[in-house]
Chains A and B, each alone.
Chain A
């Protein structure tokens, strides 16, 4: 059994949750919510990268999660818990259907199909009158008791899913995913059903993407088709690339930093998208393994110096 560092996770979660309790003004609260959902969407994007694929379809599943919450809350008036979960569950089912058909192709082909799927989903959202068409849905409120605690609640849900993805990656299941990325033929020749594992990975990531959508809907109370275009997936990709896809913490770190920087870039108007594009290019040029790679490099340098100092001490 892999060491999951559970005490460290618990401590980290407690500290992060404690910090969210101090957020009282509306701007800080909105940034915390943005950071939390960005972190989960980045982690979801990176989870699919474990099998070596880039999933632009994630944007559609975030949308499905959000509209699930919207429909269940405003049209069906379901209780909060059910409304929160229905979107992610529908996203999972759709992702399995989508994955079984499309995960037979790889790389740029899979990415382009996902891209088309995300755009098709956005158009379907905006053409369906029942869910508000182009103007979207309004009035998706969480229960009143939760209002004061919303940023903490959102952060807690995100942290739980981050831990789930972390534990899955460390498990033998996660190792099979990486093996498929490294060398699919070996996985086949030792009897692993490669398509099954790919679809399972994709479905788990899509459930998380759906959860991001659901949280997004309850946080903003308003959703519109424009929120779920391919740009959303491009942002997620930027988070992962800037943070470094070598580790979950890299992806999460990238999301946190880009959200903070991006909230300044909001003042730039259309420049915001230029900012994100620039961030990806700069990250790939300056730190090919992202922030995670930079941190690893620094740690190695430090360790080497320590060892050097120690051996000199012996002499």
Chain B
């Protein structure tokens, strides 16, 4: 191949057991620079465990993890984050008692530790502008509507200006308009800030619309990998989601 895409994150044979349960089994995942990769699967498929494994919040039972070309198997989340992989969490991924401004500030504290308070404040303003939450900067995060809190969660992570942004169900509970504007933000982040995105999401319409490639998990196994069109026609995927009857 003339120009093979740069691989930002690679797992080989990544496995995690909980007692007798194989939550993630032999996962071989690669995330290419500049793409938006979707990770989908029915409930209990192992998506969240995968997220915890690649962000260092959970240690694999076996297999290896490479982040930005370095072996990161069993490395703690803080170290992985400092390399440029930042994630969000499914539930309440923000600080309730703090203002939106201080929430975003937390995202900048590590990266701009030496740059000074003015640089941090500027980064906060810029991030709020891009996410469209500038008018909420001085409100306390816990008092805001659900949709805005979701954006705040993304904004905290994005304020750290990661190279690889991992979003755990960022669209849950958003209305149609909010979904559209959030997808627009994802594209903008990717284009303007050279940020690769890994997306775990249940909203199929959104995933199909925005992702370059999709990985489907089922019972901890990697069921299929490919473009949205390929995955949509995959028999195994149809079976997993809709039952045998619907597959050819």
A179 touches B95 (CB 8 A): yes
> Assuming the A-B contacts A175-B102, A185-B89, are A190 and B94 also in contact, with contact meaning beta carbons closer than 8 angstroms in the complex?
no
Bound CA span A178–B95, Å: 8
Does A3 make an interface contact (CB < 8 A)?
no
The one of A183, A189, A191, A194 that contacts B95, using a Cβ cutoff of 8 Å = A183
CA of A187 to CA of B106, assembled, Å:
7
**Chain B residues numbered 159-182 whose CB sits less than 8 Å from any CB in chain A:** 159-160
User: A175 and B89: CB pair below 8 A?
Assistant: no
Contacts of A172 in B (CB 8 A): 105, 109, 117, 120
Residue numbers in B under 8 Å from A179 (CB-CB): 95, 98, 102-103, 106
- Determine whether A192 belongs to the interface, using a CB cutoff of 8 Å to chain B: yes
- Counting CB contacts under 8 A, is A176 at the interface? yes
How far, in angstroms, from A186 to B81 measured CA to CA in the complex? Answer: 11
- What CA separation (Å) do A176 and B98 show in the bound complex? 10
Alpha-carbon gap, A185 to B78, bound state (A):
10
Q: Which residues 133-159 of B sit at the A interface, judged by CB distance below 8 A?
A: 156-157, 159
A1 at the interface (CB under 8 A from B): yes
Residues of A within 8 A of B86 (CB): 189-191
With both beta carbons as reference points, the residue of chain A lying nearest to B85 in the complex is identified as A189
Asked if A147 is at the interface (CB within 8 A of a chain B CB), the reply is: no
Do A185 and B157 contact each other (CB < 8 Å), given the known contacts A175-B106, A190-B107, A192-B110?
no
Q: Do A191 and B81 contact each other (CB < 8 Å), given the known contacts A172-B109, A186-B156?
A: yes
A-side interface size class: 10 to 19
Q: Which B residues, 33 to 73, have Cβ-Cβ distances below 8 Å to chain A?
A: 55, 57
B96 touches A190 (CB 8 A): no
Q: Are A185 and B117 neighbours in the complex by a CB distance under 8 Å?
A: no
**CA–CA, A186 and B154, complex, Å:** 11
- A144-189 contacts to B, CB under 8 A, are 172, 175-176, 178-179, 182-183, 185-189
**Is A193 at the interface (CB under 8 A from chain B)?**
yes
For residue A187, which residues in chain B have a CB less than 8 angstroms away from its CB?
106
Closest to A197 in B: B109
Determine how close the nearest CB of chain A comes to the CB of B9; give it in whole angstroms: 15
Given A179-B98, A182-B95: A189 in contact with B105 (beta carbons within 8 A)? no
**Cβ of A186 and Cβ of B77 under 8 Å apart?**
no
Contact check, A183 vs B87: say whether CB atoms are below 8 A apart. no
In the complex, the 10 A-B pairs of residues with the closest C-beta atoms, listed nearest first: A191-B110, A182-B95, A191-B81, A191-B82, A179-B106, A190-B160, A188-B77, A190-B107, A179-B95, A175-B102
Measured CB to CB, the residues of B under 8 A from A are 55, 57, 77-78, 81-82, 86-89, 92-98, 102-103, 105-107, 109-111, 117, 120, 156-157, 159-160
